[in-house]
A and B are shown apart, each in its own frame.
Chain A
Amino acid sequence: MMQASWMLLLLAWGGHANTKTVGQTLPPVEPDVHLLADVRSVVLQGKSHTDKVDVPGPMNLTLQCTWTANGNKTLNVTGYWLKDGRDIDNSHVTLRLENQQVHLKRTFLIKNEESLGRYSCMFGNEAKADFILAVPHISDVRDKPVVSYVGDSVVLACKVDDRKPEPKTWLWFRANGTDKEQITTVAEPQKYQIKNAGKATKLHVHNLTRDDSGLFYCAAVFTIGTAVSHLELKVITIYEPLKPFVTIVLEVLILVTAILLFERGQSKKSQVQEASEKEVANAEPPATNAEPPAINVEPPTSTSSATPSGESNGLEKSSSARQRKS
């Protein structure tokens, strides 16, 4: 009703009115059939609430807030909207509490990057809800640098979350001093390769050199704006991991040598012990050798070979027979 009377005034003045801008004037809401439309609603539980809205392109966005007044307040409350902390004209509405609940709803035309920001619906001074409209963020890449080796190739990747909208295209930049320099595959096709696949992008960097270390930026280009994220690349030589490796190999060699030496020392000691034991054993009279053999010894005459002395032959035969038996 207030809006209608304001427009009538304008017409009456014939357009010569000096419109003082108190707060911001937003374009009148004319639903454009070509634009997307979306609705976001919030039911306020406490005093305030914040919601993040990803806006990839121009759209008509309807924001609704519902607030339940606690306590028995039968007063009217003034509901209004703010953008980035500043009042929006024509947004003040007096609301009556019905069943302790009040609703605020407004459709905003988001047409360019300036339309993005923080929209707040206010219920007097009692409660508010913030909607942060922004270009969709790129998923957090790890803050640790990506490490690779000289001569090797590396893949740098950026992606937006599956639930978020898809960017129009992806761009990559290299840090050049304080500037960002765009990477084009046309200039150096053997070095860089960009593979875009909808919600993800990969930059392949080949033939790495130490100069390739530094910051790389990936940019997700949406109709309404660009989101940028950065990755750090660190190029090292093979000597870096070689140092701990050689240390470990040395440690292994030292351990093995120590163990083998220790064992040789032990076995020498036991050999000395054995030798001394043997000496003690040999010092005893050879009682065992004088034992008569367990079996009957064949008389020397039965053998084919002639022997000079029968006795020794018999003894020999008996001992060999004994050995054969055991």
Chain B
Amino acid sequence: MASVRPGAERRRGGEAEGPDGGWGWVLVAALFVSTSLVFGLMRGLGVFFVEFVQYFEESAQAISWISSTGLAAQQFFSPLGAALSNAYDTRLVVMAGGCLAGFGFILASQATCLLHLYLTMGLISGLGWGLVFTPMVATVMASFTRRRTFALGLAFSSIGLASFTFNPLFQFLVETYAWRGALLILGGLSLNIVPCGALIRSRRRPKRPAKADAEGGSPCGGVLRRVASYLELSLLCERPYLTYTLAITFLNVGYFVPYVHLVAHSRHAGFSEYQAAFVVSAAGVTDILGRLASGWFSDLGRFRLIHLLSVWTALAGLFIALLPVSTLWGSYAGLVAVSLLYGFCAGALTSLAFTVVPTVAGAERVMGALGLVQLIESCAGLLGTPLSGLLRDVTGDYLASFVVSGSFLILSTLTMATLPHYFSRTDPPLPPNAEARRLSSETERMNATH
């Protein structure tokens, strides 16, 4: 057994010497494809809405619940995906998730009423996506130590690229095969998550369940304890993790508002459809650049990840609040400039939001930590966009909604500042039992990879 010197972990990220590259890059490619098939797909569903409104003769709001259900299901089932990956094999969980995601869309192609779509495109595919995303992200994070943020940024850039390519593709599919055929083909495309999951190397089950059993007690209690350990529910009792989750929740309230309302705001300010669409596309491009640049810069190790995350979040909040201000003077160049800056900051903060998690929760609890944070941030997503819509309806323009969204991001930064040891130059020590478990599982993993 290798001796792990205590001093070696006090590096940025708190990791011992770990893997960095090699098969990890293959997993990055797998995550790239999976993320595009989960979130890129979700973003491209707008093409179907027009068809659904006409075919089912329902209101636009009823149709928009389909994608809300899908996203909510993905976030809700994330802890389940994390727990199953902790208990069993990540590879099987992801492959099962891919099958479910594809199956949901295949079933949806046979829908005869709106309820069918909620259950298939929403619930079943959402469950599948939940089983895919969190385990894959945690696996990629476990495969890197020093290049973590860049690896994630590279993988997440697929979302922006997918939006570019999927929109015309889906439009073509709907025009050629109608929505039923298009959904069938999308189901097939979603099945491509399965080979991505197959690329994850099987790892032997960690010894943690044995420790839980050794504590004795009734069989019921043993199962509950085991489930709780798979879900990492102990995290909910730790203040740093709760603070971080609260910060991410605030972030999510404001983060999506520009994506939803930027086009409407540009049209409202008097710009044409093409000008508005260009603004959104330009923000999308800088989003991708921001992810890559921030990933590369964060991994240089000059600053703590939490500091970088705070800076990007605060800047993004500032630029969101500036968006309506830039159109007050009727200046298109101003709107484009602020949108570009917003896009860059928004992209920059996404991968950091994930890589900060090991510094808060400890490396081997990342899987469960990610699952829980997704679940908790789902309510933020449900709150944020309707709130901004409500503000717009009440006040008549988007000034109030953007300013409120921006202030939620600034609030998120302030919340992050309350994390313990925020103002120190190095990462804080992890809580004691987390420390011991990390040591034991690090050595387990090193043995298992032979």
B180 near A149: Cβ-Cβ < 8 Å: yes
| Measured CA separation A157–B182 after assembly (Å) | 21
A248 near B195: Cβ-Cβ < 8 Å: no
**Is A60 part of the contact surface with B, judged by Cβ < 8 Å?**
no
How many interface residues does A have (CB within 8 Å)? 25
A263 near B201: Cβ-Cβ < 8 Å: yes
Partner of B199, one of A148, A244, A252, A259: A259
| Measured CA separation A71–B201 after assembly (Å) | 84
Binds A, one of B184-192, B244-252, B325-333, B420-428: B184-192
Partner of A259, one of B182, B188, B198: B198
Least CB distance from B199 to A in Å reads 6
Least CB distance from A208 to B in Å reads 11
**Is B218 part of the contact surface with A, judged by Cβ < 8 Å?**
no
A residues in contact with B450, CB < 8 Å: 274
B residues in contact with A147, CB < 8 Å: 175-178, 181
B residues in contact with A32, CB < 8 Å: none
B185 near A244: Cβ-Cβ < 8 Å: yes
Least CB distance from A158 to B in Å reads 12
Contact with B along A258-289 (1 / 0, CB 8 A): 01100100000000001000000000000000
B residues in contact with A252, CB < 8 Å: 188, 191-192, 194-195
Contact with A along B165-208 (1 / 0, CB 8 A): 00000000001111011101101110110110011010000000
A155 near B54: Cβ-Cβ < 8 Å: yes
Residue of A nearest to B199 (CB): A259
Known contacts A147-B177, A241-B184, A244-B185; A249/B191 CB under 8 A: yes
Report which residue of B54, B175, B198 has the largest number of chain A beta carbons within 10 angstroms of its beta carbon: B198
| Measured CA separation A263–B55 after assembly (Å) | 47
Partner of A256, one of B177, B195, B201: B195
A248 near B180: Cβ-Cβ < 8 Å: no
**Is A162 part of the contact surface with B, judged by Cβ < 8 Å?**
no
Q: Can you show 22 pairs from A to B with CB atoms below 8 A apart?
A: A147-B176, A147-B178, A147-B181, A149-B180, A152-B180, A155-B54, A155-B57, A236-B177, A236-B181, A241-B184, A241-B185, A245-B184, A245-B188, A248-B188, A248-B189, A248-B191, A248-B192, A249-B188, A251-B192, A255-B195, A256-B198, A259-B195
Which 9 pairs across A and B sit closest by C-beta, in order of nearness?
A241-B181, A248-B188, A255-B195, A147-B178, A241-B177, A259-B198, A245-B188, A252-B191, A256-B195
4 other A-B residue contacts (CB within 8 Å) besides A240-B177, A249-B188, A255-B195: A155-B57, A245-B184, A255-B198, A259-B199
